[in-house]
Amino acid sequence: MTVKDSNPDTPPPLQPEEETPISPASEETPADEQEITTAIDEKLTAGRRQTAAGRKFGTFSGVIRPTILTILGVMMYLREGWVVGNAGLGGALLIILMAYFITGTTALSLSSITTNIRLGAGGVFTLATQSLGLEVGGSIGIPFYLAQSLSVAMYVYGFMEGWIAIFPTHHPLLVVLAVFAVVFLVSYISTTLAFRIQVLVMSGVILALTSIYLGLHSVEQLQEPQILGKFEQADYWTLFAIFFPAATGIMVGASMSGSLKNPRSSIPLGTMTAWVISLLIYVTLAIWYSLVATPEELVGNLTIAVDRAFWGPAVLIGILSSCFTAALSSFVASPRTLQALGQHKIMLFPEFFGKLHGEEPRNAILFTGGLVLFILLVGDLNAIAQIVTVFFLMTYFTINFILVIEKKLNLISFRPTFRVPVYVPFFGSLACLTAIVIVSPAVGLICILLSITIYFYLDRRSLETPYETLNSGLFLSVAKWAATKVAMTPESFNLRSWKPDILFPVERSTQLEGNFQLLLAMIQPQGSIQVVGLQAKKTSRALRSLPKIITALKEEGVFASAAVIESSDFLSSLRTTAAVMRSSFFRPNILFVTVEDRSAEELKAIIKIADENSFGVAFIARHPDAGMGKSRDVNIWIRDQSPNWQLSFDLANIDLPLLIAFMLIQNWRVRVRLISLVAKEEDIASARSYLADLMNLARMPNRYEIVVEKAELWEFAERAPHADLNILGLADVVDKTFIENMVVQTESSCMFVRDSGHESVLV
């Protein structure tokens, strides 16, 4: 084990400082006796409840005392004076206030959140889990547990340094093992015992502080405070990084949430009280240091507090007491975080870690003890201090960020009894990120990557959070904001963000089932489909399998929904549905209809409905035998545009056919064939050039060929290259006979498409 002596010129990095049953009356029992018996039962029940509550802790014993004792550690005695000597009283106070600004905003955020939820065991982990889910809770909870556990080792190491200062002949490793054994046994036996020992330990801290303050009367001549120091041994930000761990420890009370009588009230009150008291102590001690010694003495003597105190040994007792109680507080808190992680199946072997023996998480204590002992035996812990500090800063950032989200969502479910303005957690989050960069950008990056890795690992496990979280409200608010923006944006501005969103009215589930693969190929991966089932009677069985088909679409990773409407009039129901859908966030842009059961008049009316709502149209006419064939080849028929084969952004009903073809190329890997029939021989070259330029500007994959001939439609249709699907433009005047004949002539399924004017293949 490596032991480093304190050196006035190069002070080592300092560690974060946390954190008999009565039978019921029978029917024959007289009324008076029954009332007496009932009263006795109620009193016994109340007594049992009081006994159970007695095993839990109140605000002072469960939050204020352990938090203060964790914050007031070795930094106060051995490093605060060194900071004052380098930075001067003004610079030191600014450093203290900056550090306490971070922990103060976090304490306020923590207080606000805990008054809005039922905070169970696990403290910060439970808070993050209830707000953002088990994945985020685990990604923060595991690093936070590691930070707490490593803090135990650091405090034990700090105790050893103080002990060696008193007894320099003692072996450091034996001191470390002895202190660890005491801390472990006390924590393992009983949390109550640990907190009772804290009462004695706190006496040592009070004695040390009293001796320090009384030292003002024993100093021969008070010094004039230097407002701004010379920063001889470290610059401002280095001093901040060294001092910041002194302000940590505000999470100790929250980590004890499962052992508190009333965590909702105890955590806010206790945390803020401990924060205020410790801030006052650090500020007054900075003034004390500037009065009792010169800057040179403060920089050159790290134990100046011992020398200038009324009774020096009391300060040594305080150093040992602070380190011991900080180690004890962290050892009591960290296994409870681990137990909560196991209870929610975040850790491996959850049954082992999540088990409670009475009120004590003894399995978690055993594991934590082994982890701490391993770290102690490895050696020098100074390098670990930065990692622990960054872990705590990440935890503080998460708490502040959760409150920012809660405040900005403005959900009715967020009704904390302790309210803070939104700028408090906002600036707290920024301050945490700034501190991470200042303390160690490299370590910060490693810790962030670790948390992200844990998050994605937990996300792949598809954990089931046992309560509602912010996620649903967050996603709902984002969707609401997006819907508002989309509704306010002219449709002409959305050409680049176009994606296929299909509205498919059906009267039988088989209509959707028969076109399942085609629809899937048209919308994956970003498109959507909304199916409207129209049935004449509630007792109809034609749509009974519709939910299963929708589920199958969702399993393919697409957004799909369905609604069934009782209606005897297809067109009037479709008109109403289209009008309603047009105002929705996921508004359709393609009206997809099967033509087999529709008359020519109905098809004309459908086009009119599509025009009224700015929908594109896709009529599918399936070949009764071939269906979609092998789904390998698609023919796109482009009408003759002679003599004006000039390419422009205003294409004549070509955008939607090409966009559909592009989706089929992506999902079916089909080969596309562009066919154009011209009336004159001299137009063939212009048509070929037009189509080649069109495919180039449209960035279509190189899986196409161009066919241009001088021929009549029906004559060429009989000898046209075979395709599994033919896509043709839909004329203003619908001719159902033409549609049916095209299916017969091409011996394949055909899709007749009409642009809405709000899509473009060239953008």
Beta bridge partners of 208: none
> For position 484, what pLDDT does the model report?
56
Please give the average per-residue pLDDT across 35-50, as a whole number: 42
Task: Tell me if 520 is assigned to some domain.
Answer: yes
Structure tokens at 235: 């610059």
Nearest to 723 by CA among 747, 705, 739: 747
Residue 756 and residue 715 in one domain:
yes
The verdict on residue 93 lying in a domain is yes
pLDDT at position 477 is 53
Closest by CA position to 252, among listed 103, 385, 367, 361? 103
Provide the pLDDT for residue 537.
75
Confidence tier at 704 by pLDDT (50, 70, 90): confident
pLDDT at 157: 81
- Report the b/e string of 503-520 with b at 16+ CB within 10 A: bbbbbbbebbebbeebbb
For 460-479, write each residue's pLDDT tens digit: 776 665 555 555 544 555 55
The pLDDT assigned to 294 comes to 92
| Selected residue with higher pLDDT from 554 and 377 | 554
Boundary (domain end) residue, out of 597, 616, 635: 616
Mean pLDDT to the nearest integer, 628-633: 89
**More confident of the two residues 144 and 677:** 677
Higher pLDDT, 744 or 40: 744
Residue 487 pLDDT > 60: no
Identify the pLDDT of residue 25: 37
Instruction: For strands 704-710 and 749-754, give the pairing.
Output: unpaired
d(CA 6, CA 357): 42
Q: Would residue 198 count as lying in a domain?
A: yes
- Contact by Cβ (8 Å): 676, 639: yes
Predicted confidence (pLDDT) at residue 33 exceeds the cutoff of 50: no
Instruction: Residue 650: give the domain boundaries.
Output: 622-763
What pLDDT score does 489 carry? 55
- Could you give the strand order of the β-sheet that contains 671-678, starting from the edge strand earlier in sequence? 559-566, 528-535, 501-506, 590-594, 616-621, 749-754, 725-729, 633-638, 671-678, 704-710
260 or 546, which is more confident: 546
Shared-domain flag, residues 606 and 641 = no
- Checking if the pLDDT of 378 tops 90, the result is no
> CA–CA separation, 656 vs 762, rounded Å?
11
Q: What is the pLDDT of residue 295?
A: 92
pLDDT cut 90: percent of the chain above it: 26
pLDDT at 53: 42
Query: Taking the CA of residue 315 as centre, how many other CA atoms within 13 Å lie in the half-sphere pointing to its CB?
Result: 22
Q: Which of 21-25, 77-81, 476-480 has the highest mean pLDDT?
A: 77-81
Do the domain assignments include residue 487?
Answer: no
pLDDT for the residue numbered 49: 42
Instruction: Share the mean pLDDT of the chain.
Output: 80
Specify whether 296 is located in the same domain as 366.
yes
Q: Are residues 608 and 654 in the same domain?
A: no
Q: Which amino acid is at 681?
A: E
Please tell me the least confidently modeled range out of 346-360, 379-393, 490-504, 655-669.
379-393
pLDDT at position 51 over 70: no
Do 442 and 546 belong together in one domain?
no
On whether residue 103 sits in a domain, the answer given is yes
Q: What is the pTM of this model?
A: 0.61
Number of domains in the chain: 3
Q: What is the mean pLDDT of residues 26-38?
A: 42
- 282 within some domain: yes
pLDDT, average across residues 641-662: 83
Q: What is the pLDDT of residue 380?
A: 57
Report the C-alpha gap between 744 and 426 in whole angstroms: 67
Same domain, 290 and 197: yes
Question: 29-43, 61-75, 184-198: lowest mean pLDDT where?
Answer: 29-43
CB 523 within 8 A of CB 503: no
Domain boundary among 572, 598, 616: 616
In a domain, 5, yes or no: no
Residue 698, domain CATH: 3.40.50.620
For residues 626 and 464, the model is more confident at: 626
**How does residue 643 score in pLDDT terms, banded at 50, 70 and 90?**
confident
The DSSP call for residue 530 is E
Same domain for 239 and 132, yes or no, is: yes
pLDDT of 250 over the 60 cut: yes
626 and 688 belong to one structural domain = yes
At 199, is the pLDDT very low, low, confident or very high (cuts 50, 70, 90)? confident
Question: In terms of pLDDT, which residue wins out, 55 or 239?
Answer: 239
Q: What value does the mean pLDDT take over residues 318-335?
A: 81
Q: Binning pLDDT at 50, 70 and 90, where does residue 355 land? A: confident
Q: What percent of the chain has pLDDT over 70?
A: 82
Place 54 in a pLDDT band, splitting at 50, 70 and 90: very low
**pLDDT in the model for residue 727:** 94
Instruction: For tokens 């069985």, name the residue.
Output: 541
498 with 452, same domain: the answer is no
Residue 693, φ and ψ in degrees, nearest 5: -65, -40
699 in a domain, yes or no?
Answer: yes
Q: Which of 442, 460, 478 is the last residue of a domain?
A: 460
pLDDT tens digit sequence for 282-293: 999 999 999 999
Window from 236-250, 588-602, 618-632 with minimum mean pLDDT? 236-250
Read off the CATH number of the domain in which 268 is found.
1.20.1740.10
* Per-position b or e across 440-473, b if 16+ CB within 10 A of its CB: beebbeebbebbeebbeebeeeebebeeebbeeb
Q: Specify whether 335 is located in the same domain as 365.
A: yes
In this predicted model, what pLDDT tens digit does every residue of 95-139 receive, in sequence order?
Answer: 999 999 999 999 999 888 877 776 655 566 667 776 667 777 777
User: Do 633 and 606 fall into the same domain?
Assistant: no
Question: What is the pLDDT averaged over residues 699-710?
Answer: 88
Nearest to 69, CA basis, from 280, 273, 313, 321: 321
Looking at the fold, whether 376 and 508 belong to one and the same domain comes out as: no
**DSSP classification of residue 60:** I
Distance separating alpha carbons of residues 546 and 553, to the nearest angstrom: 11
